[in-house]
Amino acid sequence: MTLRFRPTLLALAVGMAALPAFAAPPPTTLKEAFRDDFLVGVAVNDAIVSGRDARSQQLVIEQFNSITAENELKPENVHPRPGAYDFSKGDAFVAFGQAHGMFLVGHNLLWHIQTPAWMFTDAQGRPNSAEAQLAVLHDHIQHVAGHFAGRVQAWDVANEVIDEDGSYRQSPWLKNVGDGDRLLREAYRYAAQAAPGTELYYNDFNTEKPAKRAGIVRLVKMLQASGARVDGVGMQGHWGLESPSIAEIETSIDTFAALGVKVMITELDIDVLPQPPRTDGMPADQRLELPADPAARRQLDPWPDGLPADMQARLAKRYADLFALFQRKRDVIARVTFWNAHDGDSWKNDYPVRGRHNYPLLFDRERRPKPAFEAVLGVAKDN
């Protein structure tokens, strides 16, 4: 009986040898799909880190290889009172990221929002002098960046200090110090001293707009000329379905890369809802309210029960176009970070109008992948 089967087995072996090598299955996660291109990150909150939001935590572990602390390391949370520091949630953020081998980004050390008012005044409630204001900044950075030195890989040192016209934003920091260049030089010098092995970034929105882009370029060049260390520029990706154009985004990527620093796409989400007039660049701590009139309300919040198929298709195409650009620029883009893990967690549900139903991310409110997710994976498969 054995001899009877030998020709068949021989033919089968010859046939198998003629087949092409077995192809590996296509990647099913973002971090796998772009592992040779750039890190893929996400902003996380304490509910995810602690496991209270277990489904989102699992999604983050499966899909991403970098995390940014969304709010837990901002001054109002980590340094609420003079001399009082609370590192508990920051330490949990670090432990979670380290347990899963992630690249950790601290966010942020110098911002005009989510900073306690006491940081800007003396004991009598008067605005700080320039020297007193810099002393507050030094103390804050020394303690916070120093505490996490060697445990986070990067810091957004300064966040959104450039205004839309390219000048320095008139924040309490700037008003008290009186000299934007001095303020920024000292911030980066303090950070480099406190965390010498940590990458130091500048992070901002509307970076694709010419005047603001020019202001950021001037800032980076000023820091470099002064000897201060700045390792990268984060381009916040709070974009829409049509604007900014791919060409505008590409111009900014190329411009920042030419400075000799890393480029990151940070805070990525695509707003699919109508934008009310005069809200571009509106401060992140301000909100409009939905109108009481049902018709007016529907205009601003048109899809409370889910995003229709035609809009899903537009969102998918927008993400595919963006990731095709990012992959084309992989030699200079170090990381792409989404601002929140799924639609239900997105800050865009409450900005610029509170209480809307937005759909800006790759995963829906049930943490299920959307057509946009498949479109992004498709970019990786095609390249």
Bridge partners (DSSP) of residue 154 are 105, 199
Task: Write out the two tokens for 276.
Answer: 């009310």
CA 208 centroid distance within chain? 16
How confident is the prediction for the chain on average, in pLDDT?
94
Band of pLDDT at residue 383, cut at 50, 70 and 90? confident
Residues with a known catalytic role: 267
| pTM assigned to the model | 0.92
If one counts every other C-beta atom within 10 angstroms of the C-beta of residue 4, the result is: 7
Q: For the chain, which residues make up each domain, given as ranges?
A: 27-273+288-381
Band of pLDDT at residue 278, cut at 50, 70 and 90? confident
Arithmetic mean of pLDDT, 353-372: 98
Q: What is the pLDDT of residue 23?
A: 56
Domain 27-273+288-381 has CATH 3.30.70.2740: no
If one counts every other C-beta atom within 10 angstroms of the C-beta of residue 380, the result is: 19
Arithmetic mean of pLDDT, 133-139: 99
Arithmetic mean of pLDDT, 197-202: 98
Dist CA 64 CA 251 (whole Å) = 27
Band of pLDDT at residue 281, cut at 50, 70 and 90? confident
Q: Which position has the token pair 């989404």?
A: 338
Q: Which position has the token pair 């800006």?
A: 360
b (16+ CB within 10 A) / e for 210-241: eebbebbbebbeebeeeebbbbbbbbbbbbee
